[in-house]
């Protein structure tokens, strides 16, 4: 059977073909990975030369000139024979750099390139996710400002509760993302490089190369780390950097997934109530059978992708827990999947998130209708206080309101009629002197929601906008939604 299959005859990862951005895909691509390996080999040779090893500028220049020129076919041929991916690429690199072949990977172990390159990819991927988060926060905050004082029905236990505002609800979604941003900032601020640690983390080979000079070995570790853009190093490692770090990174991504899933679920529920609506294209089809349908496709897709991302956290925690002594290789195949797929899923989810926010449609009349259907029940305490102020007996009025409320609820639930509580109270002599209509002004029940929105924007969002002003409209050209 021929193995020469077209792309359409092989499984293609939909995170690449449908959802995530080319930028995130590029970070985790084979080209980026293996050219980074070569940049690491250049940094190692360059640093070793600076510290006195017999490596010439010509050899280093030859290595540097071929960092991007990766012959993947040659590497695959070598790997089939050697059964070792790093050594396969050492040989493929050596073919292009015959004068420098003998000093490639000098003193290093495989994890010098694999672990360090992954730390670089994680750093770059976190930076990209940070930009997407900032853009989503900025645009969602605009929604909060625009609808800061538009009253809407609040919900607890998914049951009607005290009114809030559309803008205040948006700040709840937004603040979740702000907390996620803080976690990403912390990870980026504290990210460390594995550096030059040797086969089991003891740096024994490098100590031999430098004839027992401990200071030069430490300088080598520092030099290579700085050349690759890191000012912090893992204090100690085994053969690999601690997989605890992977677990921490996937926890951060899971946090973003949780926030986006929560918002997506709220949107799906609110679209069912016809209060809010995600973007819907002019020729978009909601159902192949039911032509009238306007399914919340974007919100559903965001929930699907984020649920997938959350499921990957257990991979990282279990991998960390089962690393034996200085390392075991059962982390390798797992991490080739869990690390890039987590980032790709979150990248895709945040693209969708921003798209939903940018095209969000708010229906104030429906929101008002839904609120007024429940507001008479919520206004009963105000009716009670007004009746007492007009000389009524508090306990007697409470009972009158209770009886009328139960009957009004019966009309709604059993007969599908409108809430007629106000009409019932108007006909009751106990409330003859009470202005019942004024009590139905929803703005009386939203508390400090508008002011809370203003304070949130001023105290929380504006500093983010100032700090990341170049990222506020990041991703405006993304088309994959």
Q: Structure tokens of 443?
A: 């703005």
Same domain, 285 and 351: yes
Same domain, 380 and 398: yes
N-to-C CA span, the chain: 38
Same domain, 92 and 58: yes
* Predicted local distance difference test score (pLDDT) of residue 424: 83
Rg, C-alpha atoms of the chain: 31
Q: Tell me, what CATH number does 90's domain have?
A: 1.10.275.10
Same domain, 278 and 181: yes
CA distances from 62 to 44, 97, 372 (A): 14, 6, 76
Handedness of CA 160, 164, 167, 171 (dihedral sign): negative
Q: Tell me, what CATH number does 253's domain have?
A: 1.20.200.10
Inside any domain, residue 299: yes
Inside any domain, residue 156: no
Number of Cβ atoms within 10 Å of the Cβ of 10: 8
Inside any domain, residue 404: yes
pLDDT, tens digit, 9 for 90 and up, residues 296-355: 889 999 999 999 999 999 888 888 888 888 888 877 878 888 899 999 999 999 999 999
- What distance in Å separates the CA atoms of residue 444 and residue 435, rounded to the nearest whole number? 14
Same domain, 354 and 463: yes
Inside any domain, residue 42: yes
pLDDT, tens digit, 9 for 90 and up, residues 436-470: 777 778 888 888 999 999 999 999 999 999 999 99
Q: How confident is the model at residue 185 (pLDDT cuts 50, 70, 90)?
A: very high
DSSP output for 127-167: HHHHHHHHHHHHHHHHHHHHTTT-EEEEEETTEEEEEEEHH
Same domain, 354 and 380: no
* Predicted local distance difference test score (pLDDT) of residue 291: 44
- What distance in Å separates the CA atoms of residue 267 and residue 195, rounded to the nearest whole number? 45
Q: Which of 8, 157, 288, 470 is catalytic?
A: 157
* Location of structure tokens 């009524």: 392
Inside any domain, residue 302: yes
Going by C-alpha positions, the residue among 390, 399, 401 that lies closest to residue 435 is: 390
- What distance in Å separates the CA atoms of residue 105 and residue 115, rounded to the nearest whole number? 14
Same domain, 256 and 354: yes
Inside any domain, residue 480: no
- What distance in Å separates the CA atoms of residue 232 and residue 193, rounded to the nearest whole number? 6
pTM: 0.88
Same domain, 342 and 247: yes
* Residue 315 Cα to chain centre, angstroms: 18
Same domain, 319 and 463: yes
* Location of structure tokens 């000389």: 391
CA distances from 344 to 29, 137, 186, 336, 341 (A): 11, 19, 21, 13, 5
Which of 233, 261, 284 marks a domain boundary?
Answer: 233
Same domain, 247 and 264: yes
Same domain, 266 and 342: yes
Going by C-alpha positions, the residue among 246, 243, 259, 244 that lies closest to residue 342 is: 246
Q: Structure tokens of 262?
A: 């929560």
Q: Domains in the chain: how many in total?
A: 3
- What distance in Å separates the CA atoms of residue 389 and residue 383, rounded to the nearest whole number? 10
Inside any domain, residue 476: no
Determine contact, residues 248/183, Cβ cutoff 8 Å. Answer: no
Q: How confident is the model at residue 3 (pLDDT cuts 50, 70, 90)?
A: low
* Lowest-pLDDT choice from 8-12, 105-109, 119-123, 140-144: 8-12
Helices 364-378 and 380-389: angle between axes, nearest 10 degrees:
50
Where in the sequence is the domain holding 98, given as residue range(s)?
A: 27-108+195-233
Catalytic, 389? Answer: no
Inside any domain, residue 203: yes
Q: Which of 56, 214, 287, 438 is catalytic?
A: 287
Q: Tell me, what CATH number does 426's domain have?
A: 1.10.40.30
Catalytic, 157? Answer: yes
Q: In sequence order, what are the residues at sequence separation of 6 or more whose Cβ sits closer than 8 angstroms to the Cβ of residue 469? A: none
* Predicted local distance difference test score (pLDDT) of residue 282: 56
Same domain, 322 and 418: no
């Amino acid at each position: 059977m021929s193995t020469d299959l077209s792309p359409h005859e092989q499984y293609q990862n939909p995170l690449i073909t449908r959802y995530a951005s080319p930028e995130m895909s590029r970070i985790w691509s084979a080209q980026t990975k293996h050219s980074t390996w070569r940049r690491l080999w250049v940094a190692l040779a360059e640093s070793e030369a600076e510290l006195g090893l017999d490596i010439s500028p010509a050899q280093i220049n030859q290595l540097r000139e071929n960092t991007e020129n990766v012959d993947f076919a040659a590497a695959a041929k070598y790997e089939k024979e050697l059964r070792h991916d790093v050594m396969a690429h050492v040989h493929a690199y050596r073919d292009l750099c015959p004068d420098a072949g003998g000093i490639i990977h000098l003193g290093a172990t495989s994890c010098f390139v694999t672990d360090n390159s992954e730390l670089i990819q994680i750093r770059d991927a976190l930076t990209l996710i940070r930009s997407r988060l900032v853009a989503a926060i900025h645009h969602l905050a605009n929604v909060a400002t625009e609808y800061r004082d538009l009253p809407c029905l609040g919900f607890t236990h998914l049951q009607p509760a005290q009114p809030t505002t559309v803008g205040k609800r948006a700040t709840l979604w937004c603040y979740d993302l702000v907390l996620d941003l803080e976690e990403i900032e912390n990870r980026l601020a504290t990210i460390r490089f594995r550096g030059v640690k040797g086969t089991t983390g003891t740096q024994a080979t490098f100590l031999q190369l430098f004839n027992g000079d401990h200071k030069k070995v430490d300088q080598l570790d520092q030099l290579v780390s700085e050349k690759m853009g890191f000012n912090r190093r893992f204090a100690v490692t085994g053969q690999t950097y601690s997989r605890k770090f992977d677990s921490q990174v996937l926890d951060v991504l899971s946090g973003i997934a949780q926030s986006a899933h929560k918002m997506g679920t709220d949107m799906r529920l609110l679209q069912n109530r016809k209060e809010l609506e995600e973007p819907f294209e002019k020729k978009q089809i909601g159902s192949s059978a039911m032509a009238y349908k306007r399914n919340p496709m974007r919100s559903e897709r965001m929930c699907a992708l984020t649920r997938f991302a959350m499921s990957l956290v257990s991979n990282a925690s279990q991998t960390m827990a089962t690393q034996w002594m200085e390392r075991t290789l059962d982390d390798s195949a797992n991490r080739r999947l869990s690390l890039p797929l987590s980032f790709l899923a979150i990248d895709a989810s945040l693209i969708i998130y921003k798209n939903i926010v940018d095209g969000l449609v708010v229906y104030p009349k429906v929101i008002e209708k839904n609120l007024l259907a429940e507001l008479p029940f919520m206004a009963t305490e105000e009716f009670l206080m007004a009746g007492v102020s007009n000389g009524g007996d508090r306990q007697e009025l409470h009972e009158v309101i209770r009886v009328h409320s139960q009957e009004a609820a019966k009309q709604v639930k059993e007969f599908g009629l409108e809430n007629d509580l106000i009409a019932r109270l108007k006909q009751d002599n106990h409330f003859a002197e009470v202005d019942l209509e004024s009590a139905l002004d929803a703005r009386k029940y939203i508390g400090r929601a508008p002011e809370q929105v203003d304070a949130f924007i001023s105290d929380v969002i504006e500093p983010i906008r100032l700090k990341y002003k170049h990222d506020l409209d990041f991703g405006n050209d993304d088309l994959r939604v």
